[in-house]
Amino acid sequence: MPELSQEDLDGIYAFAVQLGKDAGRLLLDAARLRCSDDREPEQDHVEKANAVDLVTQTDEGEETYSKGTSRDYLIDDEPTWCVDPLDGTVNYIHLFPMFCISIGFIVNSVPTIGIIYAPFLSQLFTACRGRGAFLRTHDGPPQPLPLVRHPVPPMPAKAPSGCVFSCEWDKDRRDRPDSNMHRKVESFVNMAAEVGGRDGKGGMVHGVRSLGSATLDLAYAAMGAFDIWWEGGCWEWDVAAGICILQEAGGLVTTANSPDDPSTAPIEDVRLGSRLYLAIRPAGPLEMETGRQGQERTVREMWRRVRQLDYSRPGA
């Protein structure tokens, strides 16, 4: 397959933005119908299928990779769509606004275009590799991400203290002694506890947030609203668009699980299908430290405080 030109990418980017808007409007219309006087109950069950149809109808020559078709990792070096037509399904069912469309386009295994649209919030996040990341809301022009950028704030000197920490409880709630749920909770408590607590692992983060949408967690990290997101268990359609947007904004995404030597191991970009993610927001320099150094310092402080998570996948 020949290389995609920048002109090709620009065309695909514009198409993906419009697709995200259209799919979001469909979700919003269906949600509004549930609030109206003349709703028909059976409508509730077809709306997600409709959104899936809309995005899968866009398969025009590229390989389409959409939620639910397989749990094998299917992405190779070919240009590939990686789409979640509804991230935050539980939120959507309950009409809590934190749900969105996520559209990723991956080239040579790199998330290259990312679109996240949260229609209830009128927030549209977009990025194309090399062109920056942006937030559009209903009433204004595209704003570059992160939002605060003159200058971009550094990572706090005592991170994770001072950070907003975002994490999710997940659907795996097994109560075995060493289950992922208990490993996660132990890690959350380490992050929250006072400095000096938890045998030195206390992180005293500024706040702990759980939205129920991995996709929006990444979008808010790109915005600069969340400093750290740590998660295991979600899939590439949950994160492909968000990784592109966060990286284009200047953020870092690596693995949730600490390597054997957390204080010196090189910090590599996450493998898209790994199901283990640690994201750090865009950061500016702090005295002698570059922004990247501040992000890496934060990654190492995180790895020191969190448990290894145990998620695997077929064929991996």
Can you give the binding site for its own copies, defined by CB under 8 A? 34-37, 39, 90-91, 94-97, 121-122, 138-139, 143, 147-150, 164, 169, 173-175, 181-182, 185, 188-189, 192-194, 196-198, 202, 204, 206-212, 220, 223-227
Q: Which is nearer to its own copies, 193 or 265 (CB)?
A: 193
Q: Which is nearer to its own copies, 118 or 276 (CB)?
A: 118
Minimum CB separation of residue 61 from its own copies in Å reads 37
Q: Which is nearer to its own copies, 166 or 274 (CB)?
A: 166
Minimum CB separation of residue 191 from its own copies in Å reads 9
**Both tokens of residue 141?**
């022009």
**Chain centre to alpha carbon of residue 260:** 26
Give the H or E element holding residue 296.
helix 291-305
Rounded to the nearest 5°, which phi and psi values hold at 162?
90, -5
Minimum CB separation of residue 38 from its own copies in Å reads 8
Rounded to the nearest 5°, which phi and psi values hold at 99?
-135, 160
Q: Which is nearer to its own copies, 37 or 261 (CB)?
A: 37
Minimum CB separation of residue 120 from its own copies in Å reads 9
Minimum CB separation of residue 225 from its own copies in Å reads 4
Q: Which is nearer to its own copies, 85 or 97 (CB)?
A: 97
Per the annotation, where are the binding residues?
Answer: 84, 86-87, 238
DSSP reduced 3-state for 202? coil
Rounded to the nearest 5°, which phi and psi values hold at 90?
-60, -45
Per the annotation, where are the binding residues for Mg(2+)?
Answer: 84, 86-87, 238
213 Cβ neighbours under 8 A, 6+ residues apart: 87, 88, 91, 98, 99, 100
Question: Burial letters for 83-98: b for 16+ Cβ neighbours within 10 Å, e otherwise?
Answer: bbbbbbeebbeeeebb
